[in-house]
Amino acid sequence: MRSRTWACVFTALTIATGCGGDDPVAPPVQDVYGQWTAVEFKYQSVPPETTVDIVAFGGTATLDLQEDGDFELVVSPVGELSATTYGYWELSQDMMSLTPQGMHFSWEFDVALVDGKLSLRGASVEFDFDNDEVPEDATLDMLLSK
């Protein structure tokens, strides 16, 4: 009797754990077109010791994802010149790739669209955390709204 109870509990737990663990699904491509403004534009050193959020320091960033697959990223830190990157973007499953024009690499982000906010997380980039003109390995996270 006792083994039958445990078998029922085990079966119920197995079914329950199988129901909520679906992989994330990419947002519909038509929902990500357009001009996005960063609420957060955060570089984090690798290993994670230092974080710099351009928006929290008073800067701005915008990402324009065009229907034809082109993108324009404008980052304007406080007290510095704006940097504009042009390139191509692609959405596949739960990943978004931004490939700067003329480059052979892409920034690969985990992507989600929740409550009208576009979340791009975890791209491998470089950033000069200590202002010595030598960029260090970093990850880039963006939280954007229209």
Instruction: Please state which CATH class domain 24-145 belongs to.
Output: mainly beta
pLDDT at 26: 66
Q: Which backbone phi and psi does 78 adopt, to 5 degrees?
A: -65, 130
What letter would DSSP give residue 29?
A: G
Which pLDDT tens digit goes with each residue over 13-65? Answer: 333 334 444 445 568 999 999 999 999 999 999 987 899 999 999 999 999 99
pTM of the model: 0.81
By C-alpha distance, which of 106, 109, 99 is closest to 140? Answer: 109
Tokens standing for 15? 């079914």
DSSP run (H or E) holding 106: none
Higher pLDDT, 135 or 15: 135
Tokens standing for 30? 């038509």
By C-alpha distance, which of 30, 29, 22, 34 is closest to 92? Answer: 29
CA distance 79 to 3: 70
Are 62 and 86 contacting, i.e. CB atoms less than 8 angstroms apart?
A: no
SS3 (DSSP) at 78: coil
Question: From the centroid of its chain, how far is CA 125?
Answer: 12
Which pLDDT tens digit goes with each residue over 77-102? Answer: 999 999 999 999 999 989 999 999 99
